[in-house]
Structure 1
């Protein structure tokens, strides 16, 4: 007889949720009480336990920003894809497959954004795997040097520009696992040096083609003979990325005691910074300089949004700060749904923008908006007294960015938005939905609420929230293995915990002050190392085994999609099996493996579209023993919550079968069927 373990509410979070059962949620410790009603914030979310276990919670007086914040955690969760035991988890850009991705579906173009956004998750396994994917796994493997996949590079991690070392340090500054970060040094140095073929020793600068900077049809590429694949030039982007990565590598080398190596990379960064200043800064703005047909190395006349990227990495000196006046200039980058990707005064502004994706000649791209907002936050933190921008500008831009992420009145992000009109320009059905090509939660946490991770044993709290706000709170921020919280209550009446700014660690107040001036608080420790887990049922590419079959499958609802490593609950695109339209009273989904597997922890995510396909009233879970199907014990599923079956003793089998049952005989569906075990 097979016995099922009975799970308490705290341990019922599935292993896929990325937490140990004992750490299903941050503990209630100390004397502090939660100020934020987590259940209310997650109302309507599928798998709320995952969010409770993983994300920081915020309470803001601005509903637009708050709603977008929680929505963007949903889109990030949707983008988490388990590819199998070799590469583990990746963070996808598109929810559906595209023909130009690396094996498993990774695209390096927005990987820096993914790492900045994902660093705030409590479970470290997602980004552990993702970094390994790009540095040592399939994402670092060989790539054809073709026109369609970038003819200038030969591996997937260099298909697009990518600020990986900087992101590694940014992430380690949150979780405190510096040993893991320094262990990546050989690969980080190799990645940095991988751009050497695009380094011009005469200028001391790197060149890049705009399309492989993740930006097609730009004001700069239009000034070449190939607006899509042309326009090679010395750009603020790739040079700032290499500067930021060199600084990060130097920092990691110092931690290992390699002071000579650190000094070498500091010198490379300094030389690159000097050359950017002398070659790419044209007056008060950093510009693209054409590589070909430009013997004088003159910059183009147009100011593009990429000119703000140097501030992302702390590269720009005070003499360049006047560039920020362009951000709010009505003839510059300012727009209701902006910023624009090239100034309005440019003759290339919105050139051919309505002729289909993907033009960076003015449309507002969340990718670029994220970079600009991060750069702006750094500017306001580093040089708050300059006269060009202030915290109100940050809030206005962030709020505009939040309100832009809407469609039909609901939170939504696609590829690019019209800068002046309330419509997405590039929004292809089945392709652009919930596009994971930018950040937002990081902008709220590190910018608006001012949680500034540090490389020493501290955290700096320096909110950029508007001075008129009378309250805000952020709780359960995973920082160095602790639960960090901060709240602002101007007069003490909103939260009832006293007036001022309160900072707590693990529920214990460690600092209080009357205003929102910056403060640094000591925090020591690091995040724990969670165990590695393997899903034996996943088949990310749909070939071979495990093999999924069904007694009936609805149109476009293939059985394989239940084991494709993705778990999201959208109508389009879909990743699910359903029996919608079946003539049968009941239907089953069956997974056959090539070899017998040990089954001890099964997770089933049922699909419910609120219409014809609904959560089943019950289900049968069976495993094949010899030639018979044997029942495993189950409990009635709850709408919006994954079902989990944990066995005291594993059963060994080469097939599992799930039969969802509705009393009214209606349609059912499954978005994910998984069997998890510890990695061997």
Structure 2
């Protein structure tokens, strides 16, 4: 009897563990359950991409396996504007090119070709935050998790030697990933590593006044108008990143029940918020600017001045949102092919030549995706009248249009703001440059699924109602469930009724006649 009872206890424990794993993890064991769209309807994109050019470099998921991988791992998307749909699938197709198999597991690269300044396995940390934001929507968690483990523990149990070569918002990005898959086990296992990384930045990049300094090249933004490769400036980048990291670490500490560290990191974030608002805000230009090593403002607006909103740093109703007028100003950041990295009115705009990675004005997808993430936060979390859904859609549309070269989908390093020509487009190193996000912007910005820590599902589409008569985002793995979001103006496209609808595992949970914010209870 005791023997039987013992095995019943063991069996029950196994069931509990399996349930906990499914609940806390990404729910990857759950089969894809797209409620509306059929994956086969989008295979033609991959067939086309595979024939666009020779596949001269093959890694963990070669072209002939791309569709199988995508069908198993990505949310499906459909809309009436074909270029949006094409670039959505192209970005997933190109992202999986960067998955490599190493002796320590999967890693995610920035360049397909080897770079002399990379760490082991051709890994570069500059866009790690972007990789986390984008790959958090991939159903199988192993690619991103193994990449993170290599970065932080791949050097004989310690962080890789070049992890901190570039400024980092990794802790913030990993918390954002947790908001999608609710895997607290993975996040809290990484918590000590992330705390150590924060302390390391404080050790060699913190100024006496509490701000952080960085060389522009170590922000991945060399030859900027406000900095230089050897100028130790307090830039909006690293200071916003460290605010975001401190905020995330405070939330992780709370999850652990560690009240002491929760208070510690809340205080860190509060201090940085005050410093950024008081020292980096130029009241004359009404913009966040670089504070130079000479303790003066740079007196030039750059796209990095939008980054504080990437982390919801600026306090509300203090007038900071006026900075966003600059994305609509042709003398500011508005250009025919997107958002420039420096204001066009500056006499030094695009004065550093081309072909050597200049951040003096040309359009960089890295910066575009940061700015659009920040803009979505402004539209969701701030009350202001400076930008709206129309402005967001315009910039997303330009971002889509820019991702073509020689008439084919293309992703490179940076491009001319007036011609749309990719400045390194003919160079092998530029192809499929994994240095930005796009599909995360589609999911969290344009379609508007806003990840949350609770179990409510919030969707706030930033598509003006008159733009598209229908669209559908399906097979989104979120909190272990499959989410479907659709808009059908007439009800004749998807036959689910007129209007805007959210489904959870195929069951409708929220609906509206208008294309507006919905929160399921």
TM-score range, shorter chain: 0.7 to 0.9
Equivalent residue, structure 1, for 2:289 = 287
Deviation at 1:481, TM superposition (A): 1.5
Give the structure with the larger helix fraction. Answer: 2
Deviation at 1:50, TM superposition (A): 1.1
Deviation at 1:505, TM superposition (A): 1.6
Aligned partners of 1:34 and 1:475 also within 8 Å: yes
Q: Which residue, 90, 105, 116 being the options, matches 1:99? A: 116
Equivalent residue, structure 1, for 2:150 = 133
Equivalent residue, structure 1, for 2:176 = 170
Aligned partners of 2:366 and 2:437 also within 8 Å: yes
Aligned partners of 1:35 and 1:473 also within 8 Å: no
Distance 1:139 1:411, change over 3 A: farther
* Matched ranges for 1:189-338 at <5 A: 189-221=195-227, 227=228, 229-283=229-283, 284-291=286-293, 294=294, 297-318=295-316, 319-338=319-338
Distance 1:142 1:420, change over 3 A: same
CA distance in 2, matches of 1:458, 1:471: 24
Deviation at 1:128, TM superposition (A): 0.7
Equivalent residue, structure 2, for 1:655 = none
Equivalent residue, structure 2, for 1:347 = 347
Unaligned runs of 5+ in 2: 1-25, 51-63
Structure number with greater CO (CA < 8 Å, separation at least 6) is 2
Count of residues paired in the alignment: 475
Equivalent residue, structure 1, for 2:15 = none
Q: Which residue, 95, 100, 119 being the options, matches 1:76? A: 95
Secondary structure of the residue aligned to 1:82 is strand
Equivalent residue, structure 1, for 2:368 = 369
Equivalent residue, structure 2, for 1:463 = 461
Distance 1:423 1:33, change over 3 A: closer
CA distance in 2, matches of 1:256, 1:520: 28
* Matched ranges for 1:409-424 at <5 A: 409-424=407-422
Deviation at 1:38, TM superposition (A): 3.9
Deviation per CA, 1:335-358, whole angstroms, max 9, x where unpaired? 01221111011122001233x221
CA distance in 2, matches of 1:22, 1:480: 13
Aligned partners of 2:33 and 2:475 also within 8 Å: no
Equivalent residue, structure 2, for 1:157 = 163
Equivalent residue, structure 1, for 2:188 = 182
Deviation at 1:510, TM superposition (A): 2.0
TM-score, reference length from structure 1: 0.67
CA distance in 2, matches of 1:176, 1:20: 9
Deviation per CA, 1:334-385, whole angstroms, max 9, x where unpaired? 101221111011122001233x2210001100000010000000000012x4
Aligned partners of 2:188 and 2:252 also within 8 Å: yes
Equivalent residue, structure 1, for 2:60 = none
CA distance in 1, matches of 2:253, 2:273: 20
Deviation per CA, 1:493-515, whole angstroms, max 9, x where unpaired? 22222111121122222222222
Aligned partners of 1:499 and 1:514 also within 8 Å: yes
Deviation per CA, 1:632-669, whole angstroms, max 9, x where unpaired? xxxxxxxxxxxxxxxxxxxxxxxxxxxxxxxxxxxxxx
Aligned partners of 2:501 and 2:511 also within 8 Å: yes
Equivalent residue, structure 1, for 2:506 = 507
Equivalent residue, structure 1, for 2:5 = none
**Is 2:51 the partner of 1:34?**
no
Deviation at 1:98, TM superposition (A): 0.5
Aligned partners of 1:140 and 1:156 also within 8 Å: no
Deviation at 1:33, TM superposition (A): 4.3
CA distance in 1, matches of 2:257, 2:219: 34
Deviation at 1:248, TM superposition (A): 0.3
Unaligned runs of 5+ in 1: 1-18, 144-154, 222-226, 523-680
* Matched ranges for 1:570-581 at <5 A: none
Equivalent residue, structure 2, for 1:600 = none
Distance 1:448 1:247, change over 3 A: same
Deviation at 1:427, TM superposition (A): 2.9
Distance 1:376 1:139, change over 3 A: farther
Deviation at 1:317, TM superposition (A): 2.2
CA distance in 1, matches of 2:460, 2:125: 31
Deviation per CA, 1:231-279, whole angstroms, max 9, x where unpaired? 2200000000000000000011111111221111011100010011111
Distance 1:21 1:254, change over 3 A: closer
Distance 1:42 1:20, change over 3 A: farther
Deviation per CA, 1:425-449, whole angstroms, max 9, x where unpaired? 1235221101100000101011000
Equivalent residue, structure 1, for 2:444 = 446
Aligned partners of 2:334 and 2:340 also within 8 Å: yes
* Matched ranges for 1:487-502 at <5 A: 487-502=486-501
Deviation at 1:41, TM superposition (A): 5.2
Deviation per CA, 1:70-115, whole angstroms, max 9, x where unpaired? 100011000111112x2x1111000011011111111110000000
Deviation per CA, 1:534-571, whole angstroms, max 9, x where unpaired? xxxxxxxxxxxxxxxxxxxxxxxxxxxxxxxxxxxxxx
Distance 1:41 1:451, change over 3 A: farther
Give the structure with the larger strand fraction. Answer: 1
Secondary structure of the residue aligned to 1:61 is coil
Deviation per CA, 1:203-239, whole angstroms, max 9, x where unpaired? 2100000000001111023xxxxx4x22220000000
Structure 1 vs Structure 2 CA RMSD: 2.0
Aligned partners of 2:169 and 2:244 also within 8 Å: yes
Distance 1:477 1:303, change over 3 A: same
Q: Which residue, 427, 430, 438 being the options, matches 2:428? A: 430
Secondary structure of the residue aligned to 1:437 is coil
Q: Which residue, 408, 419, 426 being the options, matches 2:406? A: 408
Distance 1:21 1:397, change over 3 A: closer
Distance 1:139 1:246, change over 3 A: farther
CA distance in 2, matches of 1:123, 1:167: 17
Equivalent residue, structure 2, for 1:63 = 82
